[in-house]
Structure 1
Amino acid sequence: MEYRLLGRSGLRVSALSLGTMTFGGKDVFGNVGSTDVAGAKRQIDMSLDAGVNLIDTADMYSGGASEEILGQALAGRRDKVLISSKVRLPMGDGPNDEGLSRHHILHQAEASLRRLGTDHLDIYHVHQWDGLTPLEETMHALDSLVHSGKVRYLGVSNFSGWQLMKALCTADAHGYQRFVSNQIYYSLECRDAEYELVPASLDQGLGILVWSPLAGGLLTGKYRRDQQPADGRHLTEWSEPPVRDEHKLYDTIDAIVDIASVHGASPAQIALAYLLAKPGVASLVVGARKNEQLADNLGAINVHLTQEDIDRLDTVSAPHLIYPHWHQANLVSSRFCEPDMALHRPAR
């Protein structure tokens, strides 16, 4: 396993981390998986054997059941891993059961610690934006959790570029703890994150954690242009991530499958290896319904793409340049910095 620094922090995380959205299977999460405690122990065993040291969960996964199962599965070996959890989304029907208010953050942090059976969270992410709570309140509440020892590092997830920068500026202005990680959706199916979030993370020193790096299974090679698997979903039914350009998706999958055949690897491993080669990426969060899928994903750490492979995938999956990026590309590309090049690399 390879270990990478998480942004500008001193924390080293495994390049592949274990996701636990499949743990529990309650309500809508039953569509993703229904891993029980015994299954969770097996997946954790596999991950630890592969060198994984980071496990990612969230309070709202299966209404807290994911955290409970993870806590039980880790009993007696909590110190072998880093745990990341999240706060923001609804955890009840009350008026204060969601958001990033001081009330909700502190209440849910304590609840997560109880469910996980631990006295601290290694990384605590705000799971989504809250446009109604002042950022001063949110960042101060998070800062207090770090000073109390209940949280070691702070992270952010699913913010836009301006929201991320406003939060960081608020932290800096008041001397609060900053985010050290940015957990985002990023894959060969959709590289929208390269417009603002990847450049901002590089510029501000946030380590990128990637959720759904296989686009919900779309990039596993199971879905091809003229065929659908018997147990698959038609693309029009896919809500996360939404497929906006079906032809481009299949062109990308064709390239992935071709490159996989050359390397003797699976298409999923190629899609993961591509992201591991991108600047700023600290870890890919991989989860699976089946142990065989997890084993295959963990094998991606041993796949090393050539520059020609990366250029081919960059080209076929390149996002359209939206304003002001096309304007800058036409007029000021001679003075682009490294964060700019996350979007504007020559192979696009």
Structure 2
Amino acid sequence: MTFTGEVPVRRLGPGGPEVPVFALGSWNIWDRMEPEDRRALIERAVEAGTAFFDVAYYNMGPHAEASRTDLLFGEAIRELGLDRSRYQLCGKLWLWEYPRTGFAEQMDVSLERIGAAGADPGSFETVVVGDFMGDIDIAQVVRDVQLEIDRGSFASWGVNNWPAEALQLALDTAEAEGLTAPSFAQLKYGLVRRSMAEGEFYGKWFADGTLALQASDAFEGGILVGKLTPGRKIGADVGGIRERIVAAYPRVAEIAASFGATPAQLGIAFCLANPATANVLFGASSVRQLDDNLGAISLLAREGAERIREATAELWLDREVRADGVWAPPAA
């Protein structure tokens, strides 16, 4: 299924920017591509109206990889000579070494690395604050985020897989002190993992418009598009259900085929069928993959949200996992 129209835009939560329904991630992406392929993918994203890039410096906590992926992205932007108005950026603020490594330092380093090759990123449109660590002063996080907003580093922010209790404290702090509240949550969400995004805790914030959802890990590191034994580091297996996900792939492929679609198109269309989803973050590493993913828009328009959710209801595998963001293995 191909797509030839215009990529829709949705608002990334209250006070957030309008963004295309696709966001292109950077973890293990730009550093796996040849220079000409990086440029071609960025050009295609701009042409298709989906040039919203999640770009981070991965060198803290479990991501202490001294990755060059952000540097390579900056080089490609410079080589293409793209004006800053033609693309949007979502940055990352890490909590792994916070507050020892503060947000101002992280922003300065990240922006310098993206611009080190000659591009001028200016600032990010928005950022994600994560990964969540215990014993964090959440109220101070909100205040420090506000300092960066006031400094012009970005205009809005979201959270990444925070426990519901911590997010509620952030929302309450922002309201009480007149600060900028998080406008979106980046959560693992897709055909097989739904409990956190659709459960009673995060679900209420999405339902009343307090937050928008940015769906991530929808393909489970490639498993749900047929790469059953990924050869690279992928996201955490929350709830310990990865073996069940691998076993479910043939059914995913079967349902996708019944719609005349690919598994990737089905997975993205499912995410976008949820009205809370502002966009889906994925790691395309070629123009071919991006073009295939674009077909999800046509699939959703043709079949409708209700039919896609009905057809994929059986694929929800983390029903028993706690839905409050404090994850626990499913019951035996």
Q: If the length of structure 2 is used for normalisation, what is the TM-score? A: 0.80
The CA distance in 2 between the partners of 1:270 and 1:198, in whole Å, is 22
State the secondary structure of the residue aligned to 1:218.
helix
Q: Which amino acid aligns with 2:109?
A: A
Are residues 1:309 and 2:294 paired? Answer: no
Q: Which amino acid aligns with 2:77?
A: L
Q: 2:148 aligns with which of 145, 150, 153?
A: 145
Are residues 1:87 and 2:90 paired? Answer: no
Are residues 1:107 and 2:110 paired? Answer: no
Query: What is the CA-CA distance between 1:303 and the residue it aligns to?
Result: 1.2
Q: Give the aligned CA root-mean-square deviation in angstroms.
A: 2.7
The farther-off stretch of 256-265 and 278-287 is 256-265
Are residues 1:123 and 2:150 paired? Answer: no
Query: What is the CA-CA distance between 1:133 and the residue it aligns to?
Result: 3.7
Equivalent residues in 2 for 1:212-251 (5 A)? 212-223=217-228, 232-233=229-230, 240-241=236-237, 243-244=240-241, 246-247=243-244, 250-251=247-248
| 1:23–1:69 Cα contact (<8 Å) kept | no
Query: Which is greater in Rg?
Result: 1
Aligned to 1:184: 187
Higher RCO (C-alpha under 8 Å, 6+ residues apart): 2
Aligned to 1:40: 38
Q: Which amino acid aligns with 1:310?
A: R
Cα-to-partner distance string for 1:203-255 (whole Å, 9 max, x where unaligned) = 352121111111111111454xxxxxxxx359xx976335527457634x344
Q: Which runs of 5 or more structure 2 residues have no equivalent in the other structure?
A: 1-6, 60-64, 116-120, 325-332
Aligned to 2:18: 12
* CA gap 1:239/1:5 in 2 versus in 1, 3 angstroms: closer
Q: Which runs of 5 or more structure 1 residues have no equivalent in the other structure?
A: 26-33, 91-97, 224-231, 326-348
The CA distance in 2 between the partners of 1:259 and 1:127, in whole Å, is 34
State the secondary structure of the residue aligned to 2:10.
strand
Percent of residue pairs bearing the same amino acid type? 24
Cα-to-partner distance string for 1:253-304 (whole Å, 9 max, x where unaligned) = 3443233223221111111111110131010112134443233223222212
* CA gap 1:209/1:15 in 2 versus in 1, 3 angstroms: same
Query: What is the CA-CA distance between 1:154 and the residue it aligns to?
Result: 1.2
Q: 2:276 aligns with which of 269, 275, 280?
A: 280
* CA gap 1:64/1:149 in 2 versus in 1, 3 angstroms: farther
The CA distance in 2 between the partners of 1:277 and 1:300, in whole Å, is 10
| 1:82–1:122 Cα contact (<8 Å) kept | yes
State the secondary structure of the residue aligned to 1:217.
helix
* CA gap 1:65/1:182 in 2 versus in 1, 3 angstroms: same
Aligned to 1:157: 160
Query: What is the CA-CA distance between 1:10 and the residue it aligns to?
Result: 5.5
* CA gap 1:110/1:264 in 2 versus in 1, 3 angstroms: same
* CA gap 1:209/1:257 in 2 versus in 1, 3 angstroms: same
Aligned to 2:4: none
Are residues 1:211 and 2:216 paired? Answer: yes
The CA distance in 1 between the partners of 2:107 and 2:185, in whole Å, is 19
The farther-off stretch of 184-193 and 53-62 is 53-62
